[in-house]
Amino acid sequence: MRYSGIINRYRDWLPLADDTRVITLGEGDTPLIRLDRLTRTTGRDATLYVKFEGLNPTGSFKDRGMCFAVTKAVEEGSKAVICASTGNTSASAAAYAARAGLTAFVLIPEGKIALGKLSQALIHGAVVVQIQGNFDAGMRLVKEIAANAPITLVNSVNPYRLHGQKTAAFEIVDALGFAPDYHYLPVGNAGNITAHWWGYGAYHKQGRCAMPTLVGYQAAGAAPFVSGQMVDDPETIATAIRIGHPQSWALAQEARAATGGWFGAIDDAEILETQRLLAQEEGIFCEPASAVSVAGALRDLRAGRIPGEATVVCTVTGHGLKDPDVAIQQGKATRDFLTVSPTLDAVRDVIHGRMR
């Protein structure tokens, strides 16, 4: 049967009326990819997978939540949606709003969103408002506006976003036949770790799986869950998770505590190194923020913090094409980007010097 998105696949697990018009772009059904080469570098026998959420219709996991939030907005008769975003939420809101025939208003931090994401919000016809402030400032503004105008807020404080995103956990259990022992996620606003807790929790309640330990990693310059307090001036190259005041603070703390998990931080150099390793050793091109989960899992495996025989899933949240600037900077830094004269000798010289 033709695959037609997360709502049609998991309708029984979502709060939805029978006759609701479903707004879908075929989101979900993303692959679980085993990382054998990178796992070997840890010296452990763990089975490590990535759930490559960058293969969603707009290139990030946000599509699961946006599909459901926009479907519910239409069900409720809304004519417009609004969000603050570090980029991916705005891209997804713009696309799903376009499909539903709604107006999308998106607030983004000026100069701090990756090029691919900005291009998406613009081409899908969202009203793009750059603010001279960060994501947290944008969040305060859109909450205020949505509270006083007939506009649906589609940030992850909208519970339908989390219901949509919990389907990623369902897919993992359905694919493996069991839940992983550990699930690693990059954490910014903390909606997605909460959504996974809900998803595994719903399946667990029905006896379909055990509960995995949920582990959240943040960028070192934007790591309020690690320090235990909000950060007023978050800074990281991983602009997707450049967030200091996470909205799902209490829920994410609960998800961690209830599953025996932990939070950790990865600095920008290690984020970039892991992004490059994923691309060059495994063929998986993700944006910088998405490499944080894999960096955390590799670190914890090496350190023996998780047992060698564990099954581990890392969510890789967004596609690398979202942020071409960072990828090109990384590529140039390796000095394998050359310009030569158009002659056989010149090209042969290059090849000769570089065969492994």
Give the interface with ligand F0G as residue ranges (CB under 6 A): 60, 62, 85-89, 156, 186-192, 240-241, 287, 289-290, 317-318
CB of 44 to ligand F0G, least distance (A): 25
Closer residue to ligand F0G in complex, CB, 7/214:
214
Closer residue to ligand F0G in complex, CB, 234/318:
318
Cα separation, 216 vs 167, whole angstroms:
18
Closer residue to ligand F0G in complex, CB, 8/330:
330
Phi-psi category of residue 352: left, alpha or beta, with phi > 0 → left and psi -120 to 50 → alpha: alpha
Tell how far CA 237 is from the center of its chain: 15
Closer residue to ligand F0G in complex, CB, 182/225:
225
Cα separation, 96 vs 350, whole angstroms:
46
Closer residue to ligand F0G in complex, CB, 186/224:
186
CB of 149 to ligand F0G, least distance (A): 20
* Residue 164 · residue 64 · CB < 8 Å: yes
Cα separation, 323 vs 114, whole angstroms:
5
Cα separation, 35 vs 281, whole angstroms:
9
Closer residue to ligand F0G in complex, CB, 44/242:
242
105: which residues sit within 8 A by CB, 6+ positions away? 80, 81, 82, 83, 126, 127, 129, 151
Strand partners, 183: 214, 313
CB of 250 to ligand F0G, least distance (A): 14
CB of 121 to ligand F0G, least distance (A): 10
In one-letter notation, the amino acid at residue 341 is S
CB of 314 to ligand F0G, least distance (A): 12
107: which residues sit within 8 A by CB, 6+ positions away? 82, 83, 84, 85, 129, 130, 131, 138, 141, 142
In one-letter notation, the amino acid at residue 64 is R
Place of tokens 């807790």: 197
CB of 321 to ligand F0G, least distance (A): 12
